[in-house]
A = this chain, B = another copy of it.
Amino acid sequence: MDVTVALDAMGGDYAPAETVAGAIDAVKEFPQIHVVLVGIEDSIRAELDKYQDYPKDRIRIEPATEIIDMGDVPTLAIKEKKNSSLVVAMKLVRDGKADAIVSAGSTGAILVGGQLVVGRIKGVKRPALCPFLPTKKGMSLLIDCGANVDAKPENLVQFAQMGSIYYENVMGKKNPTVGIVNIGTEEEKGNKLVKETGPLLKECKDINFIGSVEARDIPSNPSDVLVCEAFVGNVILKLFEGLALTFLGVIKKALYKSAKTKIGGLLIKSSLKEQLSLFDTKDQGGAPLLGLKGLVVKAHGNSKAFEIKTAIGQCITFKENDISGKIAKVVNQDE
């Protein structure tokens, strides 16, 4: 099954050099992948010209003259920069010319564009951004980390349904467990939103709900899917990233302190790398924005070729398993 991915070639800290490199790697590694590089034609062409040996029939350029940058206000940018690489790439999905779009650009613009340009699946009240969080025992899907805060209980129920479908199809685990992030595991604990959502999740037949999970347990993989409102999800994701970087920095500093510690560092290097690789999200690609008519994948802003290639590759599973179709079915049976 052919899968066409529109890549926002101008999005991300290392665009277009690394986006183009990632696209080349993707068409080489995945025979079913076609990439449409969307962006400033000259810049993309200059990068492409650096490569010779790749299946040229599966990469093409779609010109776009503008770039949405991190300083742009998302809603305005989507409405006013109609000829930006992001908007043009999203239109390819909307018009059925691509199955998915991958961008390492502004998260806010991707979220707004996903809703305004690609559009929601009928019945989905709110799309949700859901990255994988690495834990000691595999990956947890954190849903929602988007910019649509102040969710309602019915939004969270749909997040649980969509997240379960995605987890099951991508991780190949039947009936993944679903927990709601809370400040305690007892039923009387929680804020208004969590207390109102709990009973609805319990009644929901499409998911394997196991109750509340505490933030302290997140690194130990308390459930496959972690449901929360976007403000809380964003805090979890960002603190996770920030602390991981901080601890790595602390370890490095300790290892580089003296000649003695440097020798110690050499002796533990491979063992430490092995342990830390548990927390590597590189192989997980980007975070999908679930609930839209086509697949929208947000890659990390600092993505290099490897992450871009992985994000493109993950679109294959998404299409082959018809994840959007499955979401549409579950969401509409409840109507």
Contacts and interface: CB of A to CB of B under 8 A. Distances in A.
Contacts of A253: 275
Determine the main DSSP class of A at the interface with B: helix
Given A190-B149, A243-B240, A251-B272, A231 B267 contact: no
Contacts of A150: 191-192
A235 B268 contact: no
A114 to B, nearest CB: 17
Interface residues of A, number: 62
A242 B220 contact: yes
A221 to B, nearest CB: 11
A171 to B, nearest CB: 21
B260 A238 contact: no
A260 to B, nearest CB: 5
A219 interface: yes
Contacts of A184: 108
Contact of A264 (B230, B243, B268, B275): B268
A312 B196 CA distance: 40
A276 interface: yes
B241 A216 contact: yes
A104 to B, nearest CB: 17
8 smallest CB-CB distances across A and B, nearest first, come from A264-B267, A264-B268, A215-B238, A216-B238, A149-B191, A216-B242, A219-B246, A215-B239
Given A219-B246, A254-B276, A263-B267, 15 more contacts: A136-B249, A147-B183, A147-B189, A149-B190, A149-B191, A150-B191, A183-B230, A190-B231, A217-B242, A235-B235, A235-B236, A244-B247, A251-B275, A260-B267, A261-B267
